Amino acid sequence: MAGTSDDSSTPDEPFCLLADEYEFTVERVRDGKLAETLARRFLEEGERADDGRKRYKIWEIEAFPGGLAPSPYDGAFWRSDPARGIHCEINYQGSSARWTGPASAEWTAFDGRRTASYDLRMIRLNHDLFVEFLQSAGVPDLPPLQPLSAMEPAEVSAAESTTVSTPAPAAESAAPKEPQGRQADRVKRALREMYPPEGKVPDDKSIPILEGEIADYLGPESRNRGLADPSRKVVTAVINWRRRIAG
């Protein structure tokens, strides 16, 4: 049984892949296990914030229900309980998760299954709310809380860089370097097909919004071929290159 998320969030809310938020946290805490714990604790607080905003989204859920599992939008879903045979394994770098646990007696009698399972794909976190969560946990060196969707593309690129940018020489500006690599090629192809004929993206669309569109567009191919979604770094590089050559 598979389904997609009911996305009732506003278009400008900056949702980022779990993999990107994991890397964002690792850069600041310098500890992969701690970054995993922080991301899990964020998910354990459930889908909705106190003000009603969505804290995370799930693109696809493939379920073999068993009558005992909490909803993936309930914080309890993300908590393992080995004593009861319940395991929630989160693939932070793959933006996915798998929940397994015992089926109820009613389900076992119905179809003979003793185990229920849920496979979640393309988990995304609300970046603003995640930063607030990290701030409340005392994580150091966090950027000012500014929605990524409100930034200009150049600002997003600068926010992700650890070096101070300097104006490029005139010759380099005239001939920007084209991003290379398999994932960059996938992003360029997706943009050409989404925004034909040349893949010129609208100036009013932010990097996080475009990242989500690209991940959705390439999702079936990624799953069929076992590929990861293009990272924020790759998407940003391709979009900034595309905008520069478009003038």
Residues 34-56, mean pLDDT to the nearest whole number: 94
Output the CA angle 34-29-119, nearest 5 degrees.
45
Is the pLDDT at 171 greater than 50, yes or no? no
What is the predicted pLDDT for the residue at 12? Answer: 57
What's the confidence (pLDDT) of residue 40? 97
Stretch 202-209: mean pLDDT, rounded? 81
More confident residue, 109 or 47: 47
For the chain, what percent of residues have pLDDT higher than 70? 80
Span 32-46, mean pLDDT?
95
Q: What is the pTM of this model?
A: 0.56
Runs of H (alpha helix) within 6-164:
18-29, 32-44, 105-111, 127-136, 153-159
